């Protein structure tokens, strides 16, 4: 008779790994930093007598939250020296990603960028309370503060966050149609088509950290952005193409040359079917976990991009 179950499945750490990743990614904004905090939490978990832990989930949430707070304090100093616009590391979402922890609207790039204006403690309280719905006593225990202090931290976090634009929740087909129209115009340098698809008040951010050609300051307005995108099209490498994908809950595309990732584009759309915001990530370190599937030679649709976590060999949470 076979006894016992899957030891990994029965391990509380593995059971709550996805939750820990969701907390840490929203705290830190990069998959690499989130992985580091999970690894540090795993080391801490394996140094204790786990049989004495009455609430494994509570312990792991506290551990990953406090490690993320420390990591964020160090990261903030680096980000103050960042060249150009800082954007989160793109996280592949959408119907092909089974993990619902990364699927809600509070993982969007717009929200994560706005959270950069909060302190590490304010951000932790916001993430635990507003995203994951922990009670105030649970949040207080996780961050090591009193209930009253946690409520004040949460209030301050909300005052830092201006109400984001109400994003147009188009159906999958319409989102894909608008996104592909935009990306085709970008790669083709078609100024006329770009002006048709861009909203008048559109803004463009490019995260390239000074390592490649890219606008170091945000560009505002359809005319300025259209001219900029049309002007850089001739400099794209030969063979560049795009794959439609959803990143951080937003329609977008992965630009690739062969099997190499060139950039990720995430869009916000307006009800009229125009592009209201464009976020482009070109920094290589933020693209290294994305895989470009091989081009289909049979005429069937190509599979979507995938994500990997190189430290563990796992698929990204």
Domains and CATH numbers, the chain: 1-81 (1.10.1740.10), 172-296+303-315 (3.10.450.50)
- By three-state DSSP, how is residue 207 classified? strand
Which pLDDT belongs to residue 79? 85
C-alpha–C-alpha distance, residues 256 and 277, integer Å? 21
Say how far apart CA 37 and CA 25 lie, in whole Å: 9
- Give dist(CA 145, CA 133) in Å, integer: 17
Q: How far apart are CA 45 and CA 32, in angstroms?
A: 20
Rounded to whole angstroms, what are the CA distances from 142 to 132, 235, 306? Answer: 13, 49, 33
pLDDT for the residue 314: 41
Inter-CA distances, 65 with 72, 102, 267, 302, Å:
10, 17, 30, 38
Task: Tokens for 257, please give them.
Answer: 């040359």
Q: What is the pLDDT of residue 154?
A: 94
Q: Are β-strands 240-247 and 219-220 bridged in parallel, bridged antiparallel, or unpaired?
A: unpaired
**pLDDT for 280:** 97
Q: Single out the residue of 185, 297, 192, 187 nearest to residue 237, CA to CA.
A: 187
Are 288 and 304 a contacting pair, CB within 8 Å?
no
The DSSP code for 217 is S
Prediction pTM value: 0.85
**How many other C-beta atoms can be found within 10 angstroms of the C-beta atom of residue 280?**
23
Counting as low any pLDDT under 70, the low residues of the chain are 1-9, 95-106, 162-169, 211-213, 293-317
Token pair 């509380």 in the structure block, residue: 12
Distant-in-sequence, close-in-space partners of 58: CB < 8 Å, separation ≥ 6: 138, 141, 142
Extract the tokens encoding 2: 């076979």
- Sheet of strand 290-291: strand arrangement: 290-291, 306-309, 314-315
Q: Is the backbone of residue 184 left (phi > 0), alpha (psi -120 to 50) or beta?
A: alpha
- pLDDT of 213 reads 63
* pLDDT of the residue at 159: 87
Q: What is the pLDDT of residue 90?
A: 94
Looking at residue 106, what is its pLDDT? Answer: 66
What are the distances in angstroms from CA 189 to CA 162, 200, 213, 229, 250? Answer: 34, 19, 16, 7, 23
Q: What is the pLDDT of residue 304?
A: 58
Give Cα separations from 270 to 53, 251, 284 (angstroms). 49, 12, 30
């Amino acid at each position: 008779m076979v006894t016992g179950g899957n030891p990994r499945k029965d391990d509380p750490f593995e059971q709550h790994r996805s939750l820990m990743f969701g907390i840490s990614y929203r705290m830190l904004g990069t998959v690499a930093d989130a992985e580091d905090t999970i690894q540090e939490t795993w080391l801490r978990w394996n140094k204790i007598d786990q049989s004495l832990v009455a609430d494994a989930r509570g312990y792991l949430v506290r551990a990953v939250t406090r490690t993320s707070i420390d990591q964020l304090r160090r990261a903030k100093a680096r980000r103050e020296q960042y060249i150009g616009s800082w954007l989160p590391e793109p996280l592949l979402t959408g119907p092909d990603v089974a993990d619902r922890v990364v699927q809600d609207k509070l993982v969007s790039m717009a929200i994560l960028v706005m959270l950069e204006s909060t302190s590490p403690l304010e951000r932790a309280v916001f993430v635990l309370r507003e995203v994951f719905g922990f009670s105030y006593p649970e949040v207080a225990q996780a961050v090591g503060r009193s209930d009253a202090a946690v409520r004040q931290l949460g209030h301050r976090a909300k005052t830092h966050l201006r109400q984001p634009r109400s994003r147009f929740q188009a159906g999958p087909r319409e989102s894909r149609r608008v996104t592909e129209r935009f990306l085709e115009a970008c790669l083709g340098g078609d100024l006329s088509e770009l002006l048709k698809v861009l909203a008048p008040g559109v803004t463009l951010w490019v995260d390239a950290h000074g390592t490649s050609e890219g606008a170091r300051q945000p560009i505002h307005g359809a005319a300025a952005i259209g001219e900029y995108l049309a002007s850089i099209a001739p400099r794209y490498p030969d063979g560049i193409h795009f794959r439609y994908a959803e990143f951080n809950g937003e329609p977008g595309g992965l630009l690739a040359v062969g099997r190499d990732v060139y950039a990720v584009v995430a869009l916000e759309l307006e009800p009229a079917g125009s592009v209201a915001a464009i976020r482009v990530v070109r920094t290589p370190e933020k693209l290294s976990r994305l895989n470009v599937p091989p081009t289909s030679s049979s005429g069937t649709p190509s599979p979507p991009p995938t994500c990997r976590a190189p430290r563990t060999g796992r698929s990204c949470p």
